[in-house]
Structure 1
């Protein structure tokens, strides 16, 4: 059964987009730093400037792009590369599924255009808005444009001036996105049901991280929490 939504909640105009863009600008500043590190790493790996910039502009997937660099060489192992990138980005399948009730109200071209710039941060903020009955499409698309612009700009800066920030992890910047997403979780519903769902997701993710193939923990945790949430909701609605 597809969730019914108010069509007005998914209106996409320039004011909504600009508002979403501005709201994601703060987190975008940290994205620039990691993109600089990527640009530097890509240059050191031997990628041309054009290839690096095209990857950031068209792929827009930080973790996957770093993983590609680890596999890059004179003889690129295509199949392992594809499998690795798919595993890292598989969470986007789940993001798309959660966004579908709202995205289906858009024309197909706009729908896929929006999904091109979906990432963890703007997905989390837009879902929080949607679940609160607010407009979230501007956050999703406008915020995505802010993050995409930051990643593309940072990649270029990394190619030119990347030696300034060679290791953003040493500055603690690797914790920024995790803390941001945690804040999104804490800003949502607070009840026993949500506590148990998040706990199950966390435990499943931890076990997958320890015992399953690399990068599978993200999807495993999301599926465990999502399935429990779906089952629990159905049982609750029956009473």
Structure 2
């Protein structure tokens, strides 16, 4: 997405706070439904890899980034290689730098006590829905965004905890195909934000590089390769524009 091609929208200050929060939560319901099976898979995989259920809840509650959490679970050993997991988490979550930069014009006039929670609860889906709502209505509603974010956060935490508790009892949860629910929801969100091939070029570079690395290099290096190549491509095209 090209942040420079869109002027910052004003903040919504007139709508009743509870109404905006509720509107965000209601709009988040389809995404929440997609979160549940994906979160169950993550929780179940984590405990099947030997991660304690409490550690699963702490990880999802403090990090709130599904991609990096799946990467951490894939790399989990006993004892865990903490530096490797931290490095991979930073790489996977590096996309939040660009997402936060796009949100910055809408949040820069707010005090830090409101900005920091908004950024902490930011995920791909709440970010996309908040911006899509702003463009549709011509005003950015922080309360709507927080309604979406809090609904998704609570759904994710509770569902991963349930998955961690029941995972050892149900065997290979991937055999049920539930892990495809989250990618399907994300693709729908991307379709709604599609602005042409030009804006999608960094995503395509990341996809191609990650797929090639996955086929050619053993281990989880494809995650790092995809993240870094996407950021470099985004920077390169931003410099050209």
- Per-residue displacement from partner, 1:154-198 (whole Å, max 9, x unpaired)? 122113323458435743x44444443443344347xxxx42314
Q: RMSD in angstroms over aligned alpha carbons?
A: 3.1
Distance 1:36 1:149 in 2: 13
- Per-residue displacement from partner, 1:111-170 (whole Å, max 9, x unpaired)? 110111111111111111223413342342111111111111112211332345843574
Residue 104 (structure 1) shift: 1.4
Residue 211 (structure 1) shift: 4.8
Residues 125/9 of structure 1: CA separation in 2 closer, same or farther (3 Å cut): farther
Alignment partner, residue 214 of structure 1: 222
Q: Please state if 1:81 is matched with 2:85.
A: yes
Residues 182/72 of structure 1: CA separation in 2 closer, same or farther (3 Å cut): closer
In 2, are the aligned partners of 1:10 and 1:105 still within 8 Å (CA)? no
Q: Which runs of 5+ in 2 are unaligned?
A: 215-220
Residue 24 (structure 1) shift: 0.7
How many matched pairs? 227
Scaled by the length of structure 2, the TM-score of the pair is 0.78
How does 1:148-167 map onto structure 2 within 5 Å?
148-162=153-167, 163-164=169-170, 166-167=172-173
Structure 1 runs of 4+ with >6 Å offset: 9-12
Alignment partner, residue 150 of structure 2: 145
Residues 68/199 of structure 1: CA separation in 2 closer, same or farther (3 Å cut): closer
The equivalent position to 1:57 in structure 2, one of 61, 68, 75, is: 61
Scaled by the length of structure 1, the TM-score of the pair is 0.79
Distance 1:81 1:101 in 2: 32
Residues 10/174 of structure 1: CA separation in 2 closer, same or farther (3 Å cut): farther
Distance 1:74 1:158 in 2: 20
In 1, are the aligned partners of 2:131 and 2:140 still within 8 Å (CA)? no
Residues 41/175 of structure 1: CA separation in 2 closer, same or farther (3 Å cut): closer
